[in-house]
């Protein structure tokens, strides 16, 4: 009898271990899809209170996951914001101060000609861990003679615009989604990581007739913008629907966000194209900034501003069985450089021993547990002194450095002479400067900001300069 009981215990132990191992295997290396929209404002979502835009697929995604209210990117423009995601480092550490442009403009800005592929890269780290990796959509991480192609960063497959010419697609339409869908179908039985970087809502706008008809009751500006938003939302819906059809949504982490706040609206005389609509993905030149009427939900600043309207963006996370459903997270302070360490922890991948990212893993927050941020968030932005497009908002473009620690956010100019301080607990709109009431906090944060600034490189690495630039 004793031997039978012993045998029973052993068998039960084996069974329990087997079940536990199977459960661990199910979530050890989930698929990861990161959807990065372009110039999509925090207020450009129905679930964030917008009354004229329609985002049914993103609303549904939030109902099946968690909407994180206090996520920020690390730059108010695209290239440095995207570099932060790829590298887990604040973009200034790689001398990326603004968006990549021509060789001459990059040189004038003290920037490299491309993001250095030799540093630890999110896709390469996942690729080395057995993930199939893909990048589809916008690139904008540099180019020119001698520039590395996308596979140098760790991608098995890619199809991009604003990237290399080796696998080029058009920005208009949902070509990036088409490639993503195809990639997922072919690798559904493997573990994969996908960057899906949408064009919406970046200029120029390419509204489709079917959406224009849907929003014909709106004025011209809103009609076009709502059409572009609707197309981007449809792309997200296609991906989520596919995951369910393939039976892999339970083991797939999906995140939707945007690279910075909404673009500034410009008059009809500023880059206003005569072409109005398109019936296919291949026609028309698109519409200009007159239709850039994205919203920040009342926050100060837009694209090109370190105020909240320029860097606080949507962040919706879905992972059935892991991420709480229908939750709105109003406490977790998350930023873009956190994605690399978070994705690696999700995948069970160790950080390289010598690599210390600026971000920290926020997996506990994604799981619905309490997350207390330990590292400060830094911003650096060497934008133009004046904004040439929107005279009403140029006052919001003066901050070039910023730091957030705890509840406090301080912004200053490059000389550390002009400062503003905001208590983000209850004032995310940054409506009240409290620097005069908290001089000690100002001095403490300025000191930390100055120490951080002193660690930044004075010039880009020579390996990131094009041959044409080296020869000048």
Q: Is residue 20 part of a domain?
A: no
Cβ atoms within 10 Å, residue 149: 17
For residue 9, the model assigns a pLDDT of 42
449 and 360 housed in the same domain:
no
The answer to whether residue 136 is domain-embedded is yes
As a whole number of Å, the CA-based R_g of the chain is 23
Token duo for residue 98: 């603004």
Element (H, E) at 83: helix 78-87
Two structure tokens written together for 215:
């929003």
Question: In the numeric block, which tokens belong to residue 44?
Answer: 């450009």
- Helix (H) / strand (E) containing 334: strand 334-335
Same domain (yes/no): 258, 209: yes
SS3 category, 38: coil
CA distance 36 to 316: 11
3-state secondary structure at position 133: strand
pTM of the model: 0.92
- The pLDDT, as a whole number, for residue 472 is 67
Shared domain for 451 and 353, answered yes or no, is no
For residue 7 the two structure tokens come to 């045998």
Query: Does 280 map to a domain?
Result: yes
Q: Are residues 367 and 385 in the same domain?
A: no
Question: Does residue 219 lie within any of the structural domains?
Answer: yes
| 245 and 394 belong to one structural domain | no
- Three-state SS sequence of 340-396: HHHHHHHHCCCCCCCCCCCCCCCHHHHCCCCCCCCCCEEEECCCCCCCCCCHHHHHH
For residue 328, list its beta bridge partners. Answer: 67
Beta bridge partners of 253: 32
Q: CA-to-CA distance for 343 and 360, rounded, in angstroms?
A: 10
pLDDT at 268: 76
Structural domain ending residue among the three candidates 320, 352, 376: 376
What pLDDT sits at residue 415? 85
Tell me whether residue 3 is in a domain.
Answer: no
Report whether 346 contacts 329 (CB < 8 A). no
Please name every residue paired with 208 in a beta bridge, in sequence order, or none if there are none. Answer: 278
> Domain holding 61: CATH number?
3.40.720.10
Beta-strand ranges (E) seen in 57-111 are: 66-68, 71-72
Phi, psi of 302 (to 5 degrees): -140, -155
**Could you state, in chain order, the average pLDDT of each consecutive group of 10 residues for the chain (472 residues)?**
45 40 54 98 97 98 98 98 98 97 94 97 98 98 92 98 91 94 98 97 91 96 96 98 98 98 83 50 69 95 96 98 98 98 97 94 98 97 65 76 98 91 95 97 97 96 89 68
Encode 74-86: b = buried (16+ Cβ within 10 Å), e = exposed.
bbbbbbbbbbbbb
Token output for 452: 């951080």
Q: How far apart are CA 323 and CA 71, in angstroms?
A: 16
Name the phi and psi angles at 338, rounded to 5: -75, -20
Longest dimension (CA), the chain: 92
User: Is residue 292 included in any domain, yes or no?
Assistant: yes
Shared domain check, 403 and 359: no
Strands (E), 214-330: 252-258, 315-318, 327-329
Query: Residue 36 pairs with which residues in a beta bridge?
Result: 197, 257
The pLDDT score that the predictor gives to residue 271 is 54
d(CA 243, CA 6): 45
Same domain for 103 and 156? Answer: yes
- Residue 392 φ then ψ, to 5°: -70, -20
429's tokens = 């709109």
| CA–CA separation, 60 and 326 (whole Å) | 9
**Whole-angstrom Cα distance, residue 99 to residue 202?**
14
- Do 295 and 427 lie in one domain? The reply is no
**Are residues 285 and 398 located together in one domain of the fold?**
no
Based on the domain organization, do 170 and 244 belong to the same domain?
A: yes
- The verdict on residue 170 lying in a domain is yes
What CATH number is attached to the domain comprising 452?
3.30.1120.10
Q: Are residues 329 and 405 in the same domain?
A: no
Last residue of a domain, one of 336, 356, 376: 376
Domain of 409, in residue numbers: 379-470
Structural domains in the chain (count)? 2
Residue 358: inside a domain, yes or no? Answer: yes
Last residue of a domain, one of 376, 391, 406: 376
What is the bridge-based pairing of β-strands 157-161 and 132-138? Answer: parallel
Same domain, 362 and 433: no
């Amino acid at each position: 009898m004793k031997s039978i009981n012993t045998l029973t215990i052993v068998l039960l132990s084996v069974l329990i271990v087997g079940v536990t191992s199977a459960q661990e295997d199910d979530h050890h290396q989930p698929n990861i899809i990161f959807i990065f929209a372009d110039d999509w404002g925090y207020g450009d979502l129905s679930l964030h209170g917008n009354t004229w835009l329609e985002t049914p697929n993103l609303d549904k995604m939030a109902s099946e996951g968690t909407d994180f209210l206090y996520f920020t990117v690390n730059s108010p423009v695209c290239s440095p914001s995207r570099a932060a995601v790829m590298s887990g480092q604040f973009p200034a550490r790689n001398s990326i101060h603004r968006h990549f442009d021509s060789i001459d403009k990059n040189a004038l800005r003290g920037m490299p000609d491309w993001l250095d592929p030799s540093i630890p890269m999110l896709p390469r780290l996942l690729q080395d861990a057995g993930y199939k990796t893909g990048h589809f959509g916008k690139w904008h991480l540099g180019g020119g003679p001698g520039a590395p192609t996308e596979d140098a960063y760790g991608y098995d497959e890619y199809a991009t615009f604003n990237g290399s010419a080796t696998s080029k697609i058009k920005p208009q339409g949902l070509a990036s989604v088409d490639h993503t869908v195809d990639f997922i179908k072919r690798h559904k039985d493997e573990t994969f990581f996908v960057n899906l970087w949408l064009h919406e809502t970046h200029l120029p706008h390419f509204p489709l007739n079917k959406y224009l008809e849907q929003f014909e009751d709106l004025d011209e500006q809103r009609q076009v913008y709502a059409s572009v938003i609707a197309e981007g939302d449809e792309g997200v819906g296609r991906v989520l629907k596919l995951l369910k059809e393939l039976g892999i949504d339970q083991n797939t982490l999906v995140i939707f966000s945007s690279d910075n706040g909404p673009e500034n609206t410009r008059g009809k005389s500023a880059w206003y194209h005569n072409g109005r609509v398109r019936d296919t993905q291949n026609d028309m030149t698109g519409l200009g900034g007159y239709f850039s009427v994205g919203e920040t939900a009342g926050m100060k600043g837009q694209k090109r501003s370190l105020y909240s309207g320029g860097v606080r963006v949507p962040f919706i996370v879905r992972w059935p069985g892991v991420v709480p459903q229908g939750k709105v997270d109003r406490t977790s302070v998350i930023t873009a450089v956190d994605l690399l360490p978070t994705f690696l922890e999700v995948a069970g991948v160790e950080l390289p021993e010598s690599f210390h990212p600026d971000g920290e893993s926020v997996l506990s927050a994604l799981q619905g547990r309490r997350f207390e941020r330990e590292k400060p968030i830094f911003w650096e932005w060497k934008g133009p002194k004046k904004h040439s497009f929107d005279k009403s908002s140029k006052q919001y473009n003066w901050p070039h450095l910023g730091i957030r620690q705890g509840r406090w956010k301080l912004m200053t100019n490059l000389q550390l002479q002009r400062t503003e301080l905001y208590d983000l607990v209850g004032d995310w709109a940054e409506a009240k400067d409290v620097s005069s009431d908290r001089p000690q906090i100002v001095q403490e944060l300025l000191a930390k900001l100055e120490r951080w600034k002193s660690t930044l490189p004075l010039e880009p690495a020579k390996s990131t300069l094009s041959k044409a630039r080296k020869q000048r």
